[in-house]
């Protein structure tokens, strides 16, 4: 693992701590979550993608979802995502608790990539 990856993972660890903190303002947390969603589609290194995904899940767990534009994730980004990014985006959508996204996720249940297919089915199961 490169030094850059180690430092980036440490940064995301600190972000997860800030999501758990009651002293951080909600607006700060929402802005961080928006940035993380952007990173989800830009990152090419799987170790960092997993770290971003875990960080987003912590944000969801601590209620930082209501002011996030999830439709941008679904409509704009999902259809253009590369395969590895798509896997994690499907997992994130499955964790939002919004069953409206099932119709979008259904498009990936028959995907030729097995990991994408499995991620889509798991996301639907979480939302059902």
DSSP 8-state code for residue 63:
T
32 vs 73, higher pLDDT: 32
The Cα–Cα gap between 84 and 31 comes to: 24
Question: Which of residues 127 and 58 earns the better pLDDT score?
Answer: 127
Helix (H, G, I), strand (E, B) or coil at 22: coil
Dihedral sign, CA of 124, 17, 69, 46? Answer: negative
pLDDT in tens, 42-65: 888 888 888 888 888 888 888 877
Answer with the residue of higher pLDDT: 102 or 14.
102
- Could you tell me which CATH number the domain at 70-128 has? 1.25.10
**Which pLDDT score is estimated for 117?**
96
CA distance readout (Å), 98 to 23, 30, 86, 112: 28, 18, 18, 26
Q: What are the pLDDT digits (tens) for 75-119?
A: 677 888 888 888 988 998 898 888 988 999 999 999 999 999 999
Outline which parts of the chain fall under CATH 1.25.10: 70-128
């Amino acid at each position: 693992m490169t030094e850059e990856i180690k430092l980036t993972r440490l940064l995301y660890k600190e972000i997860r701590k800030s999501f758990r903190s009651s002293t951080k303002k909600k607006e700060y947390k929402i802005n961080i979550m928006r940035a993380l969603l952007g990173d989800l589609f830009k990152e090419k290194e799987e170790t960092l993608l997993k770290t971003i995904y875990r960080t987003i899940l912590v944000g969801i767990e601590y209620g930082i979802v209501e002011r996030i534009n999830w439709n941008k994730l679904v409509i704009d980004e999902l259809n253009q995502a590369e395969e590895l990014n798509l896997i994690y985006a499907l997992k994130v959508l499955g964790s939002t608790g919004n069953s409206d996204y099932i119709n979008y996720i259904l498009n990936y249940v028959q995907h030729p990539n097995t990991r994408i297919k499995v991620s889509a089915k798991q996301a639907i199961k979480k939302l059902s």
